[in-house]
């Protein structure tokens, strides 16, 4: 079945450090890929998405590139801020549709001043 594997946390970084959160997915079909973020006390929000191979999703300084050859969708940010502290979830949609999203376990990021 469909699955998503992401690096375990928690991840603790100093402000302005470089962030990478690894994510790989099962290569069934050609799914859309997503990163969702959950800030403390809030619901999940879509951070960025990519719908086909080599697409790069970007938002708020975060980027992730859809790599079909390595079945990966790693999240990166060049300089994190304290306000980026949150739980980040990698996710994939069904091939050909979005209605049944499969999530990874989530990676908690803490950015310290």
Partner 1 sequence: EAGVTQFPSHSVIEKGQTVTLRCDPISGHDNLYWYRRVMGKEIKFLLHFVKESKQDESGMPNNRFLAERTGGTYSTLKVQPAELEDSGVYFCASSQGLNTGELFFGEGSRLTVL
Note the residues at the interface with partner 1 (CB under 8 A): 4, 32, 34, 36, 41-46, 49, 51, 89, 93, 97-106
According to DSSP, residue 16 is labeled T
Query: What are the phi and psi torsion angles at 96 (to 5°)?
Result: 85, 0
Q: 């191979």: which residue's tokens?
A: 53
Please identify, using beta-carbon distances, which residue of 78 and 96 lies nearer to partner 1. 96
Q: How far is the CB of 36 from partner 1 (least distance, A)?
A: 8
Distance in angstroms (rounded) separating the CA atoms of residues 68 and 81:
30
Q: How far is the CB of 113 from partner 1 (least distance, A)?
A: 26
Q: How far is the CB of 94 from partner 1 (least distance, A)?
A: 10
| CB-CB contact of 96 with 32 (8 Å) | no
Please identify, using beta-carbon distances, which residue of 4 and 64 lies nearer to partner 1. 4
Please identify, using beta-carbon distances, which residue of 41 and 113 lies nearer to partner 1. 41
| CB-CB contact of 44 with 89 (8 Å) | yes
């Amino acid at each position: 079945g469909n699955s998503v594997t992401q690096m375990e946390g928690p991840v603790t970084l100093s402000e302005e450090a470089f962030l990478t959160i690894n994510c790989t997915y099962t290569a069934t079909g050609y799914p859309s890929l997503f990163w969702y973020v959950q800030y403390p006390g809030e619901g999940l929000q879509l951070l960025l998405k990519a719908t086909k191979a080599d697409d790069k999703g970007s938002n708020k300084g975060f980027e992730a590139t859809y790599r079909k050859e390595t079945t990966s969708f790693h999240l990166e940010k060049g300089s994190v801020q304290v306000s980026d502290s949150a739980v980040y979830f990698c996710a994939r949609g069904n091939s050909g549709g979005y209605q049944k999203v499969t999530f990874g376990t989530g990676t908690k990021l803490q950015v310290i001043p």
